[in-house]
Amino acid sequence: MTEHLIRREDYRPPQWSVREVWLSFTLDEETTEVRARLHCLRGEGVSEEEPIVLDAEELELVSVALDGEPLSPQSGPGGRGFVHDDVSLRLHGARAPEAWVETVVRIHPARNTALSGLYRSGTGLFTQCEAQGFRRITPFPDRPDVMARFHVTLEADEARYPVLLSNGNLQETVRLPGGRHRAVWVDPFPKPSYLFALVAADLQAIEREVGLADGRRSLLQVWVKPEHLPRAGWALASLEAALRWDERRFGRVLDLDRYMIVAVSDFNMGAMENKGLNIFNTKYVLASPETATDADYAAVQAVVGHEYFHNWTGNRITCRDWFQLTLKEGLTVFREQEFSADELAQAVGPERADSARAVKRIEDVQTLRTAQFPEDEGPMAHPIRPQSYRAIDNFYTATVYEKGAEVIRLLHTLLGEKGFRAGMDRYFERYDGQAVTCEDFVAAMAEANGVDLTPFLRWYEQAGTPRLVVEEDWDGDAGRYTLHLRQFTPPTPGQPENGPVILPVRLGLLGADGRDLPLVLADERDAVPAPEAPPAGGMRPIAPRDSAVGATTRLFTLTDEALTLEFIGLPPGPKPVPSLLRGFSAPVRLVFEEPDEALRHRMAYDSDAFNRWDAAQSWAQRQVLRLTRGETETLDETFVTAWKQLLADESLDAMFRVKAAALPGERWLLETMTPADPVRLRTALVRSSIDLARAGRDLWPRWRDCGSARPYRYDPLEAGRRALAAFAWRMEALLGEDERCSRTFAAADNLTERLAALDAALAHPDEALGEALLSAFESRYAEDDLVLDKWFARQAMRWSWHGAPGAVLARVQRLTEHRAFRWTNPNKVYALVLNFFANNLAEACAAGDPAWAFWQEAVLRLDATNPIVGSRLARALERWRRWAEPYRAAFAPVLEATRRQVRSTEVREILDRMADEEVVAP
């Protein structure tokens, strides 16, 4: 079968669209019958001969009618009739510009292991339609630029499926003979098919009626299994917080009388923003002190916010085609990031607001660096708006989401909060109810601000992480400091030459005493700031600098390859220390020879909390890599001293200190090593951790008892205290302290501390201690599917201290037989199998061939049952070309053999790219 490449430039508007649709489901897990009536419209200028083409996948066709007349399979060319193949249903013979199509199909939810379309989870039935699942439910033009009004009738056995939900408003419910019942739902907003949803299950809701900013009222509900009701409160509170935030910050008010969240345990991703009926992975809904950690609470709030914000950025205004995915995802991730940061700042109070916001920024940048940067340099590199794809599901990536959010943030940085808000207002005014492109979004931003953003669009066209190369000159007598900034983007697959992007650099200069210096450029000395010329008809170009002459943090923007900045009036003497890209003002890699001494200075004094963290991390990275290369046996004393000082600085937010003191993540460090040797790196990390634990010995007793104030309550300030305590426990465990872990594990009244105790035990040199707590954890949470995922994950990510190479792999393989493990449940596969390959590469490499054989077997199994999950597992090893020998050579033939056996388009696309030498940048 030839694989079909879909190109952005091939976009054509639909020949036929659908204005209104009536769906009627007779629901059952074995066989569900779906009747559809579509009111179709022929496009402007489309010929009468054009068939009505409906996407149709894995549907058993029962009957087709056109304009009230039954239709038969087409017998000859040109006549009335239909053609049904693997991917579509084509209807010939519609002569009028409007047509009525009626189809009846049968589908089999219990056999749907791909979890796309209508599927069974537990005893319930759920849908997932994004991106192309609707075509697995009924024949339909399954593309986002076809927007229709949906009328949905659901009929099912009442005892088995007591709750029947779909999008919009509940029109009626009817009891039927034979123990059956029916519900009718009508969604007043036209929507693309990917936002359709239905649920038929035994669920209960907690709910709350809220008043909206425009005076209307709305009912908010969170639907879960009856036994999970006590864990639904946080999601409901988060939903209300998100609703208030969007009213305040963007003036966006909920447009529905009813907004529902439904939790399901078998789900490929995090959650889905179906209009008025969000469907969520249970992982991002359920939270109680005993079953969710502080991090889980924050994640629930973030995902609930994300899906809620989609209602305006995604649903009211949607994507013209799937290439525009970042239009809704990048923007919505950015909105969620701002929501989470605002909520954190509010929770900790005004004095700590800055470092609390920095904590969120740090987490987001860590995600970007560990997930997106590697993607951008590997076989899957693509612009935030891809040029082509074989399977769209493979492009729900860190690039589209996280880099996409950074690109939106660039606009926010360039235009300021007010300008950005004006652009958003313009976007909603202009495009509400439409399916649009990324250019449309940028045009709204440009017009509302009178700025020509054409050069900005390159961020949508180019893959690859730009490099910002910095050189400096210092004239200590004159007090003149010059920065030479230059950018380039390395070649990426299919893009041998990349041009300069619009690159905002927020920066400051630190004096010898650590204080920020006022920033004045040479040509600003006596200049009276000229009043900004009004955009005379046309638009202003993007300004290369702000007008804040004399401020200590300023914004300069590279609009071309290079920019030189000459700062004057600085105190003569020692060179100031630059603090570049404050707040990570652009998603680039900084290429700058910064001496240890400068990192030390910034680690102690940088007024920008993000950069202070970044200085600590860069220095730590340097230390660990030197150990890895065998250049030294121990950490530098100056580093250790600075590290201790930062960690002990009580004026800083506790969570911030923990983030700054933690060693950089292994995945990120591997990216900075060429070739990447996971086994050597692991050894160096263990040694560094023990060194630091020893050096900080006097600190640990200070914090080890400052766990939560009882009883547990999620609160960012307390979460910080708990994180500091957890840090101390782990450090003491590394040194062989063994009492505390078991005691804390037994005494804790919450999962955060209990897991922290387990994690500390797993760091203890005596492996028996970790084993004991692992088994205690298993018995305690034996009945709790979601919490057991954390138990699986810890065993997958375990570092074997003395164990034979292969011991962790053997354990992971054995656990696939555990009664709670199911290959059909994505959360289980991610926790145990994906985690092992993505986050424990050192153990995989140490195990060698058996590990790669296990990867192959798992990928092939999932390829046949759930290609979305299979692709994600395949991608865990996409950076294999960077590995040191013998790992790389051992993996190559396994990749080749696997590639020959895969069936799904999704997994094949990934493996082909992984195997193709041509696609990887030199």
Residues 326-355 that bind ligand TRP (CB under 6 A): 329
Q: Which does 155 bind (CB under 5 to 8 A by kind): Zn ion, ligand TRP, none?
A: none
Least separation in angstroms between residue 499's CB and Zn ion is 30
For ligand TRP, the closer of residues 307 and 376 by Cβ is 307
What is the rounded CA–CA span in Å between residue 879 and residue 664? 19
Q: Which stretch binds ligand TRP (CB under 6 A): 124-132, 346-354, 661-669, 740-748?
A: 124-132
> Nearest-CA neighbor of 693 among 720, 729, 721?
729
Secondary structure (DSSP) of 64-129: EEETTEE--B--STTSSEEEE-SSEEEEE---SSEEEEEEEEEE-GGG-TT-SEEEEETTEEEEE-
Taking the complex as a whole, the smallest distance from the CB of residue 266 to Zn ion amounts, in Å, to 19
User: Which 308-337 positions form the footprint of Zn ion (CB under 5 A)?
Assistant: 329, 332
Tell me the one-letter amino acid at 127: T
Q: Write phi, then psi, for 831 (nearest 5 degrees).
A: -65, -45
Interface pick for ligand TRP out of 145, 187, 255, 307 (rule CB under 6 A): 307
871 binds, among ligand TRP, Zn ion, none (CB under 5 to 8 A by kind): none
- Whichever of 306 and 667 has its CB closer to ligand TRP, that residue is 306
Binds 860: which of ligand TRP, Zn ion, none (CB < 5-8 Å by kind)? none
Q: 268 or 898, CB closer to ligand TRP?
A: 268
Which residue type sits at 352?
Answer: R
Which of the stretches 39-47, 268-276, 339-347, 415-423 binds ligand TRP when contact is defined by CB under 6 A?
Answer: 268-276
Complex with ligand TRP: residue 275 or 306, whichever CB lies closer: 306
Which residue of this chain has its Cβ atom nearest to ligand TRP in the complex? 269
Q: For the stretch 83-110, what's the b/e string if a residue is b when 16 or more beta carbons lie within 10 angstroms of its beta carbon?
A: ebeeebbbbbbbeeeebebbbbbebbbe
Q: Interface with ligand TRP includes 246 (CB under 6 A)?
A: no
Contact call for residue 389 and ligand TRP (CB under 6 A) = no
- Site stretch for ligand TRP (CB under 6 A), options 15-23, 148-156, 271-279, 657-665: 271-279
699 binds, among ligand TRP, Zn ion, none (CB under 5 to 8 A by kind): none
Query: In this complex, which beta carbon is closest to Zn ion, that of residue 137 or of residue 271?
Result: 271
To the nearest whole angstrom, how small is the minimum distance from the Cβ of residue 278 to ligand TRP?
Answer: 9
Residue numbers 395-424 binding ligand TRP by CB under 6 A:
396
Q: Which of 318, 461, 306 is nearest to 384 (CA)?
A: 461
Q: Which stretch binds ligand TRP (CB under 6 A): 264-272, 532-540, 621-629, 711-719?
A: 264-272
Distance CA 779, CA 776 (A): 5
Question: Of Zn ion, ligand TRP, none, which one sits near residue 128, judging by CB under 5 to 8 A according to partner kind?
Answer: ligand TRP
The item of ligand TRP, Zn ion, none sharing an interface with residue 271, based on CB under 5 to 8 Å by kind, is: ligand TRP
Q: Answer with the entry of ligand TRP, Zn ion, none that 272 interacts with (C-beta below 5 to 8 A by kind).
A: ligand TRP
Report, in Å, the least distance between residue 309 CB and ligand TRP.
10
**Shorter beta-carbon distance to Zn ion: residue 332 or 487:** 332
In the list 32, 74, 88, 128, the residue contacting ligand TRP (rule: CB under 6 A) is 128
Q: Are 332 and 314 in contact (CB under 8 A)?
A: yes
Residues 6+ apart with CB under 8 A from 799: 682, 686, 762, 808, 840, 842, 843
Instruction: Give the CA-trace dihedral at 799, 805, 807, 812, to 10 degrees.
Output: 70
Return the bridge partners of 33, or none: 26, 106
Amino acid at residue number 442? V
Map the footprint of ligand TRP across residues 673-702, applying CB under 6 A. Answer: none
Q: DSSP assignment of 23-42, as one string?
A: EEEE--SS-EEEEEEEEEEE
What's the token pair of residue 10?
């091939």
In the bound complex, what is the minimum distance in angstroms from residue 310's beta carbon to Zn ion?
Answer: 6
* Closest to 655 measured CA to CA, from 615, 620, 703, 606: 703
Strand partners, 156: 181
List 99, 199, 269, 331, residue binding ligand TRP (CB under 6 A)? 269
- H helix intervals, 649-705: 654-661, 666-671, 678-695, 700-703
Using the minimum distance from each CB to Zn ion, give the nearer residue, 329 or 393: 329
Show the site string, 131-160: x = touches ligand TRP by CB under 6 A, - = not: x-----------------------------
Q: State the burial class of residue 177 (Cβ atoms within 10 Å of its Cβ: 0-12, 13-18, 19+).
A: exposed
Among all chains, which residue has been given the structure tokens 């891809």?
386
Applying CB under 6 A, the span of 125-133, 244-252, 606-614, 696-704 interacting with ligand TRP comes to: 125-133
* Residue 753 interacting entry, from Zn ion, ligand TRP, none, C-beta within 5 to 8 Å by type: none
In terms of CB distance, is 270 or 765 closer to Zn ion? 270
Distance CA 647, CA 727 (A): 11
Contact 468, 502 (CB under 8 A): no
**Per-residue burial over 649-674, b = 16 or more CB atoms within 10 Å of its CB, e = otherwise:** eeebbbbbbbbbbbbbebbbbbbbbe
Give the one entry of ligand TRP, Zn ion, none that residue 396 binds, where binding means its C-beta sits below a cut-off of 5 to 8 angstroms depending on kind. Answer: ligand TRP
Q: Point out the catalytic residue in the list 130, 307, 343, 732.
A: 307
The count of residues in the chain is: 922
Interaction between residue 130 and ligand TRP (CB under 6 A): yes
> In whole angstroms, how close is the CB of 164 to Zn ion at the nearest point?
26
Q: Count residues contacting Zn ion (CB under 5 A)?
A: 2
Closest CA to 466 of 506, 503, 414, 505: 503
Determine if 272 is a binding residue for ligand TRP (CB under 6 A).
Answer: yes
State the Cα–Cα distance between residues 65 and 42, nearest whole angstrom: 17
Instruction: Kindly indicate which of the ranges 127-135, 436-444, 795-803, 894-902 contains the residues binding ligand TRP, using the contact rule CB under 6 A.
Output: 127-135
DSSP state letter for 798: P
Nearer to ligand TRP, 194 or 613 (CB): 194
> Residue 807 Cβ, how far from ligand TRP at the closest point, in Å?
35
Q: Is 285 in the site for ligand TRP (CB under 6 A)?
A: no
The set of residues, in sequence order, having a beta carbon less than 8 Å from that of 418 and lying 6+ positions away, is none
Query: What do you get for the CA distance between the two ends of the chain, in Å?
Result: 31
CA atoms of 287 and 306, how far apart (whole Å): 17
Q: Is 268 in the site for ligand TRP (CB under 6 A)?
A: yes
Nearest-approach distance from CB 126 to ligand TRP, in angstroms: 11
| Smallest separation, CB 306 to ligand TRP (Å) | 6
Distance from C-alpha of 281 to C-alpha of 868, rounded to nearest angstrom:
15
Within 10 A of 568 (CB to CB), how many other CB atoms are there?
17
Cβ nearer to Zn ion, comparing 332 with 866: 332
307 is catalytic: yes
Given the complex with ligand TRP, which of 329 and 789 has the nearer CB atom?
Answer: 329
- Per partner kind, with CB cut-offs from 5 to 8 A, the member of ligand TRP, Zn ion, none near residue 502 is none
* Pick 280 or 855: Cβ nearer ligand TRP: 280
State the binding partner of 142 from ligand TRP, Zn ion, none, CB within 5 to 8 A by kind. none
**Which is closer to ligand TRP, CB of 42 or CB of 310?**
310
Residue 130 interacts, among Zn ion, ligand TRP, none and using kind-specific CB cut-offs from 5 to 8 Å, with ligand TRP
Instruction: Count CB-CB contacts under 10 A for residue 184.
Output: 18
Interface residue list for Zn ion (CB under 5 A): 329, 332
Mind telling me the catalytic residues? 307
Interface residue list for ligand TRP (CB under 6 A): 128, 130-131, 268-269, 271-273, 306-307, 329, 396
